[in-house]
Structure 1
Amino acid sequence: MQQAVVDAGRPLPQLTDPLEVELQVSAIVGPFAGNEELWEVVVRHLREVPSRRSAALLTALAHLLPGRPGQWAREAAGQQQEPPWDLKNLTFGECWIGDRSIDAGYLALLCSYAYGDVPHAMVFMIDEISGGLTRHAFLTRQVGEALERLKQQVRLESITAEAAHWLLSRSYDRFERRPGLGFGSDVHHTRLVARRRIKLAMN
């Protein structure tokens, strides 16, 4: 498992899109994010073998891993060169909510973000029948198109980024307590991407 995680960092120095970095790392390391023993070994290895790959993977892990592993990665990344992309340049845009909990049993959330002047959005479907669990979470770079499609399905209202991500925080807390339920693979693949935005919005 350790080698698989380290190998996942191989393409990162060649990437220029910070969003692609987040997606690749989240999809690979998300299932093991809470394994402190694993990350202690991985971070120590990357620190002891400095390279462009080590620096890039440590930087990504510093932004995406929760708790102590993220702090370990942050400290180790500070001792190596910076990668060609910047995950610190994330900004928040508009958020929209649509409530179909009465007739269809779900809430829809669209939250927009940007790296520099390049926008993207995450769209979440929250299952109110199952206690507010996130059933689907996908990412799109076609923000305007996604918003228009969502408007065709549900009446949308503007919501602050803080309020939207508070709802998501509660939903992901429930999801992480019950990871064996039938969620879409998109929820698992993008979980660390979503969790990072939740943390930034609520701090």
Structure 2
Amino acid sequence: MSRKTQPPKRRPIVVVHRPQGTALTAAQQQVVRRCRALPEVLDPLEAELTVSSAVADLQPDEEFWAGLIEHAVSLPSRRNHALLRVLAAVLTGRPREWAANAVAPARPTLAVGGAWICDRSVDAGYLALICAYTFAADEHAMVFLIDELAGGVVRTAFVTRDVTTARHRLSEHGGPLTPIGAEAAHWLLAKSYDRLDRNGPGDVDQEVRRTRLLAGRRIALAFG
């Protein structure tokens, strides 16, 4: 056979098998989409808020987190790596362990600072708590309003980076602040969030749901 009549040589077809990841529910897919900017988020507090906000309208349980973590582990990417690192830092219990087994938790390390209470349970029916925390040298605080008339359920919770101003405004509008031990303060919070979880969201501020993971992490940290 002459060279002119020889069939052209073709490269063999190589099938490339790409990891597809484990299947996600619609809610889990929504969380992944909401966290797509995490690789660009350098501030640790903002990273926590990104993930916590992503599940604010959900009620994630262990099965939810297990599926999300398994998906992120099975489908390596820059975004999934960033998500796993934040989950390894902000989650508690077994879900935190699952994420931490895959990646190192996001840094810097979170530390618990001082706490103050404003007790208006007798005349106004609420307790106000302000708890300070630090990421390295960067301080922030969470402010909580606990409704004593409703059985001690947390009604308001928000994050602020200006701890001094938050303390001043709380004392100005609610009364004098009294220092309280960090463990005692977070024991009150643990009871309050436990009641919230048992009774359902009810009439609570949206920020309570948006900061839920942050509160859970800080309660667990205060108890060691």
If the length of structure 1 is used for normalisation, what is the TM-score? 0.90
Q: Which residue of 2 aligns with 1:42?
A: 68
Paired residues of 2:158 and 2:211 also in contact (CA < 8 A)? yes
1:109 and 2:134 aligned: no
Q: Which residue of 2 aligns with 1:136?
A: 156
Once the two structures are superposed, what CA deviation does each residue of 1:75-116 show, in whole Å capped at 9, x if it has no partner?
1225xxx7xx515x1122211001011111000101011111
Q: Which residue of 2 aligns with 1:163?
A: 184
Q: Which residue of 2 aligns with 1:23?
A: 49
Once the two structures are superposed, what CA deviation does each residue of 1:39-95 show, in whole Å capped at 9, x if it has no partner?
2222221111112211110111122233332222221225xxx7xx515x1122211
CA–CA separation in structure 2 for the residues paired with 1:59 and 1:194: 18
SS at match of 1:50: coil
Q: Which residue of 1 aligns with 2:32?
A: 6
SS at match of 1:47: helix
Shift in Å, 1:38: 2.7
Structure 2 counterparts to residues 60-75 of structure 1, below 5 A:
60-75=86-101
If the length of structure 2 is used for normalisation, what is the TM-score? 0.82
Segments of 5+ residues of structure 2 without an aligned counterpart are 1-26
Larger radius of gyration: 2
Segments of 5+ residues of structure 1 without an aligned counterpart are none
Structure 1, 29-38 or 58-67: larger mean CA deviation:
29-38
AA aligned to 1:28 is A
Name the % identity. Answer: 49
CA distance 1:123–1:169, change in 2 (3 Å): same
1 or 2, which has the higher helix percentage? 1
Aligned residue-pair number: 197
CA–CA separation in structure 2 for the residues paired with 1:73 and 1:38: 13
Pick one of 81, 91, 98 that aligns with 1:55.
81
CA distance 1:69–1:30, change in 2 (3 Å): farther
CA–CA separation in structure 2 for the residues paired with 1:43 and 1:150: 39
Q: Which residue of 2 aligns with 1:151?
A: 171
